[in-house]
């Protein structure tokens, strides 16, 4: 037995080294990203009043709870790395499981790393002017640094992720705590401006706009196989995460709405900076303060994505449904080093490409459908899979799953009306390339977990 096996893992498999703080840090650190700096203005524009802005974040957070409960149950039923890929596989849909990983690797995960690295550089550009080429090189440097951190040690990477998540929340807490003393009650109670949206439809639109701010909390499920005592830790981590993020967003939206009139908040390209500028001793330094906050926040999200995303390809490769090298565990560092390095390499190539945001937009509809179907696996697994025995079952299971599907279904419909052609193109490309690839690996004997794999997972839990 080697040292890795003795410490709780087995040769060729990832050990359970991460506790509750790390699990929460991954979930919260992924969710609270750069989107909060721009989404506040979009939500204000959809809501029309400060009251609806605050209420939208409350309702959006409450509606996220069923989704997190679904993931908590699934994670305790299958406490192994891979997230959605594992859930579709166990629900009996190997092609859909493969497509989930295929889309993630080629369409969403490396581009998200690229965009976050470039976003960090853009905010650094507030202080230091850089040419486009130099900006790209600096972005590459950020990717390489965090790649090295997470390749060398999952424990070291988790410690960094926990620290950076705590640090990224501190500026928000300070803004909330200080800004609360300078809020104006008239702004919070002001009626909607002439021409602004009003009524229930405005509230629903605002709630829909908050969904992207809450997206990402299930990221920790990618690493369920590395969480200590997952049957207790995963439900606690997912519930703590949604309550933490909701509390942060509700307080932040309340303070911002009390510092800036709703019309100015809605029309602002930098709502966080404009709101902070209303604090007397911040004033003209608001732009610099916001840039520093953004850099810290996005660094946390970048680190988290580099840490958890490669685990899906690792799980697929273990089943023989992806390139075998992705299943390799570094003999010394006990991390899926090859999977991490390759995903970062693809991201680095994309850093020098253009229109990455547009590229991601093409796959928005497909990503939403993937989430919708994930919640649907609850119905299949509970009714048709005899071996489905989660150690933690969410209350009102089918109702919660239905609510989560309804939330996501609403976004699917709205996204389809917003960009039907890109969504359909993305679906066709994903299926057109993914299914041939799946049948190639399936013919080679992939797609069914081996008995040794199942034994290893059970033993490690």
Counting residues of the chain whose pLDDT is more than 90, the rounded percentage is: 46
Is the torsion defined by CA of 373, 374, 379, 383 positive or negative? Answer: positive
The average pLDDT across 22-33 equals 92
Any idea of the CA torsion for 301, 171, 120, 408, to the nearest 10 degrees?
A: 40
Task: Say if residues 226 and 15 touch (Cβ distance below 8 Å).
Answer: yes
The average pLDDT across 171-200 equals 83
Does residue 451 surpass a pLDDT of 50?
no
**Does some domain include residue 367?**
yes
Q: Name the pLDDT band for 55 (thresholds 50, 70, 90).
A: very high
Please give the pLDDT value at position 180: 92
Please give the pLDDT value at position 281: 80
Which of 98, 142, 153, 101 has its CA nearest to residue 119?
A: 142
Report the distance separating Cα 92 and Cα 71, nearest Å: 18
Contacts of 16 (CB under 8 A, 6+ apart): 8, 9, 225, 226, 227, 228, 229, 230, 460, 461
DSSP element (H, E) containing 4: helix 3-6
For residue 227, which phi and psi values (nearest 5 degrees)? -95, 130
What CATH number should be reported for the domain holding residue 72? 1.20.1740.10
**Does some domain include residue 453?**
no
Report the distance separating Cα 193 and Cα 205, nearest Å: 17
**Does some domain include residue 3?**
no
Q: Name the pLDDT band for 162 (thresholds 50, 70, 90).
A: very high
Q: Name the pLDDT band for 450 (thresholds 50, 70, 90).
A: very low
Structural domain count of the chain: 1
Q: Which two tokens stand for residue 71?
A: 């993931």
The average pLDDT across 165-191 equals 89
The helix/strand/coil state of 18 is strand
The average pLDDT across 357-375 equals 72
DSSP element (H, E) containing 413: helix 397-418
**Does some domain include residue 459?**
no
pLDDT tens digits, residue range 99-156?
999 988 887 788 889 888 988 998 898 898 888 889 999 999 999 999 999 999 999 9
The average pLDDT across 159-180 equals 91
Task: Determine the structural domain holding residue 98 and report its residue range.
Answer: 21-445
Q: Of 70-84, 327-341, 360-374, which range is least confident?
A: 360-374
The average pLDDT across 12-33 equals 89
pLDDT tens digits, residue range 220-277?
999 999 999 999 999 999 999 999 999 999 999 999 999 999 888 888 877 888 888 8
Please give the pLDDT value at position 384: 85
Does residue 452 surpass a pLDDT of 50?
no
Does residue 448 surpass a pLDDT of 60?
no
Any idea of the CA torsion for 432, 435, 437, 440, to the nearest 10 degrees?
A: -140
Higher per-residue confidence, 209 vs 184:
184
Q: What is the DSSP letter of 190?
A: P
Please give the pLDDT value at position 205: 78
Radius of gyration for the alpha carbons in the chain, expressed in angstroms and rounded = 22
Counting residues of the chain whose pLDDT is more than 70, the rounded percentage is: 87
pLDDT tens digits, residue range 396-442?
889 999 999 988 887 777 666 666 676 677 778 778 888 899 988 88
**Does some domain include residue 15?**
no
The residues facing 227 across adjacent strands are 18
- Write down the mean pLDDT value for the chain: 85
Task: Say if residues 72 and 243 touch (Cβ distance below 8 Å).
Answer: no
Q: Which two tokens stand for residue 218?
A: 């299930």
**Does some domain include residue 7?**
no
Please give the pLDDT value at position 421: 73
Task: Say if residues 14 and 226 touch (Cβ distance below 8 Å).
Answer: yes
**Does some domain include residue 458?**
no
The helix/strand/coil state of 81 is strand
């Amino acid at each position: 037995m080697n040292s890795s096996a003795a410490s709780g893992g087995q040769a060729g498999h990832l050990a359970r080294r991460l506790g509750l703080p790390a699990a929460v840090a991954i979930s919260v650190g992924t969710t609270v990203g750069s989107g909060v700096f721009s989404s506040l203005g979009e939500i204000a524009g959809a809501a029309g009043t400060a009251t609806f802005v605050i209420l939208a974040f409350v309702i959006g957070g409450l509606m996220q709870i069923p989704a997190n409960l679904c993931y908590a149950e699934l994670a305790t039923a299958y406490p192994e790395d891979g997230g959605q890929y594992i859930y579709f596989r166990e629900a009996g849909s190997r092609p859909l499981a493969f497509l989930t990983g295929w889309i993630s690797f080629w369409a969403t995960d490396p581009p998200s790393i690229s965009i976050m690295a470039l976003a960090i550089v853009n905010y650094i550009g507030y202080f230091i002017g850089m040419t486009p080429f130099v900006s790209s090189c600096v972005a590459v440097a950020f990717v390489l640094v965090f790649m090295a951190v997470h390749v060398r040690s999952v424990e070291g990477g988790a410690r960094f992720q926990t620290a950076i998540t705590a640090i990224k929340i501190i500026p928000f807490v300070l803004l909330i705590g200080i800004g609360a003393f300078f809020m104006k009650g008239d702004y919070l109670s002001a009626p909607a401006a002439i021409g602004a949206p009003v009524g229930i439809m405005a509230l629903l639109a605002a709630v829909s706009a908050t969904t992207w701010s809450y997206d990402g909390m299930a990221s920790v499920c990618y690493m369920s196989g590395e969480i200590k005592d997952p049957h207790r830790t995963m439900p606690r981590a997912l519930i703590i995460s949604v309550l933490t993020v909701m509390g942060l967003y509700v307080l932040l939206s309340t303070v911002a709405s009390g510092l800036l009139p709703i019309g100015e908040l809605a029309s602002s390209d930098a709502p966080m900076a404009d709101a902070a500028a209303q604090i007397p001793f911040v004033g003209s330094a608001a732009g610099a303060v916001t840039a520093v906050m953004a850099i810290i926040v996005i660094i946390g999200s970048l680190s988290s994505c580099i840490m958890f995303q490669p685990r899906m390809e690792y799980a697929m490769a273990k089943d023989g449904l992806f390139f075998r090298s992705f299943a390799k565990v570094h003999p010394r560092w006990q991390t899926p080093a090859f999977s991490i390095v390759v995903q970062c390499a693809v991201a680095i190539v994309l850093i020098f490409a253009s229109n990455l945001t547009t590229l991601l937009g093409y796959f928005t509809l497909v990503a939403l459908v993937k989430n919708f179907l994930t919640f649907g696996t609850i119905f299949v697994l509970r009714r048709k899979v005899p071996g489905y025995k989660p150690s933690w079952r969410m209350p009102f299971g089918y109702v919660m799953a239905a609510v989560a599907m309804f939330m996501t279904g609403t976004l699917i419909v709205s996204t389809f009306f917003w960009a039907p052609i890109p969504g359909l193109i993305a679906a066709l490309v994903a299926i057109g390339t993914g299914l041939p690839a799946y049948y190639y690996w399936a013919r080679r004997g992939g797609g069914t977990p081996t008995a040794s794999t199942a034994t290893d997972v059970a033993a490690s839990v």
